[in-house]
């Protein structure tokens, strides 16, 4: 077994343990392997261990890996980075999911650019739940209007919400923020039957996210090891 495969096994154990502790079904929690800056060979090791959902942050880098790994048709690619409108076409054409929709203009472009030959692009609305320094994500007050606008776009399928809470080491405070996201998710689910995904929880707040009701945790370093940005000048 390779290190990546060992790490994946450990993470599945951690997810199962958190699910058991908080009364969740572990089958309801998807592990999204965040592979930004990592080579296609590392992703192939993960695929060999049964990992099928991968998250990429940089459009060009992601599209190159999707092409390299095209033979693995069962793999699902999620775009989880900040999306500039001049890059939306590549996301619409190559990814199955986009987690970072936070304005109508981007949603409209993704809808118009999604090829008719592909199923609708699965999208999550990114919410700025606690990070005053981040410009990404909508305020919760803006959720009803953006959700309504997105569900009117035929080439998009609104699946839920995503957030990147500000770093916080105290579990109770992590939980309080995750709970606000979970409440918004429940509200959205009641209004839109396709909604089933709450993308919340990274290495340091995964347990709190699972306790609150996350259905998708996004983990990079704990699977693939530390990132070496020096080798990737575009970042
Ligand atoms: C990089 C990234 C992750 C994974 O972070 P790690 O600390 O490597 O686990 C998760 N979500 C988003 C949006 C990211 O950009």
Which residues of the chain form beta strands (DSSP E)? 30-34, 53-56, 76-79, 97-101, 121-127, 156-163, 197-199, 216-219
Residue-wise pLDDT tens digits, 26-52: 999 999 999 999 999 999 999 999 999
CA of 222, closest atom in ligand 1: 9
Residue 188 CA, ligand 1 centroid: distance in Å: 24
> Which residues 6+ apart lie within 8 Å of 235 measured at CB?
36, 37, 58, 229
Q: Which residue among 31, 79, 218, 224 has the greatest number of ligand 1 atoms within 8 angstroms of its CB, and so is best to mutate?
A: 218
Q: Which residue among 220, 223, 225 has the greatest number of ligand 1 atoms within 8 angstroms of its CB, and so is best to mutate?
A: 220
Closest CA to 33 of 227, 218, 221: 218
Q: What is the pLDDT of residue 40?
A: 98
Query: pLDDT tier at 8 (50, 70, 90 boundaries)?
Result: very high
Q: Which domains, from first to last, does the chain contain?
A: 3-224 (3.20.20.10)
Query: pLDDT tier at 232 (50, 70, 90 boundaries)?
Result: low
Higher pLDDT, 16 or 230: 16
Q: What is the pLDDT of residue 200?
A: 98
Smallest CA separation from ligand 1 atom 11, residue: 218
Residue 231, pLDDT above cutoff 90: no
How many whole angstroms separate alpha carbon 29 and alpha carbon 104? 28
Residue 107, pLDDT above cutoff 70: yes
Residue 235, pLDDT above cutoff 60: no
Residue 223 CA, ligand 1 centroid: distance in Å: 11
Residue 220 CA, ligand 1 centroid: distance in Å: 6
DSSP 138: B
Mean pLDDT of 201-218: 97
Q: Please, are residues 96 and 118 in contact by the beta-carbon 8 Å criterion?
A: no
Q: What is the pLDDT of residue 183?
A: 98
Q: Please, are residues 111 and 154 in contact by the beta-carbon 8 Å criterion?
A: yes
pTM above 0.85, yes or no: yes
Specify the 3-state DSSP secondary structure of 55: strand
Residue 82 CA, ligand 1 centroid: distance in Å: 12
Residue 117 CA, ligand 1 centroid: distance in Å: 31
CA of 219, closest atom in ligand 1: 9
């Amino acid at each position: 077994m390779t290190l990546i495969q060992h790490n994946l096994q450990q993470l599945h154990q951690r997810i199962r343990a958190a699910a058991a502790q908080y009364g969740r079904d572990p089958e309801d929690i998807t592990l999204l392997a965040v592979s930004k800056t990592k080579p296609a060979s590392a992703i192939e090791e993960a695929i060999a261990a049964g990992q099928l959902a991968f998250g990429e942050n940089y459009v060009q880098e992601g599209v190159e890996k999707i092409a390299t790994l095209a033979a693995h048709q069962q793999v699902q690619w999620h775009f989880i980075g900040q999306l500039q409108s001049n890059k939306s076409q590549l996301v619409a054409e190559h990814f199955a999911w986009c987690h970072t929709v936070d304005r109508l203009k981007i949603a409209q472009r993704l809808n118009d650019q999604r090829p008719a030959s592909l199923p609708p692009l699965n999208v999550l609305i990114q919410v700025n739940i606690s990070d005053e320094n981040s410009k990404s994500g909508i305020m919760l007050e803006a959720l009803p209007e953006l959700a309504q606008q997105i569900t009117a776009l035929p080439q998009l399928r609104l699946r839920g919400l995503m957030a990147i809470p500000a770093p916080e080491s105290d579990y109770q405070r992590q939980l309080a923020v995750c709970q606000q996201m979970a409440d918004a998710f429940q509200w959205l689910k009641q209004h839109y039957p396709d909604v089933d995904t709450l993308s919340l929880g990274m290495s340091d707040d995964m347990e709190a996210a699972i306790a609150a009701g996350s259905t998708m945790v996004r983990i990079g370093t704990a699977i693939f090891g530390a990132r070496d940005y020096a080798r990737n000048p575009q970042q």
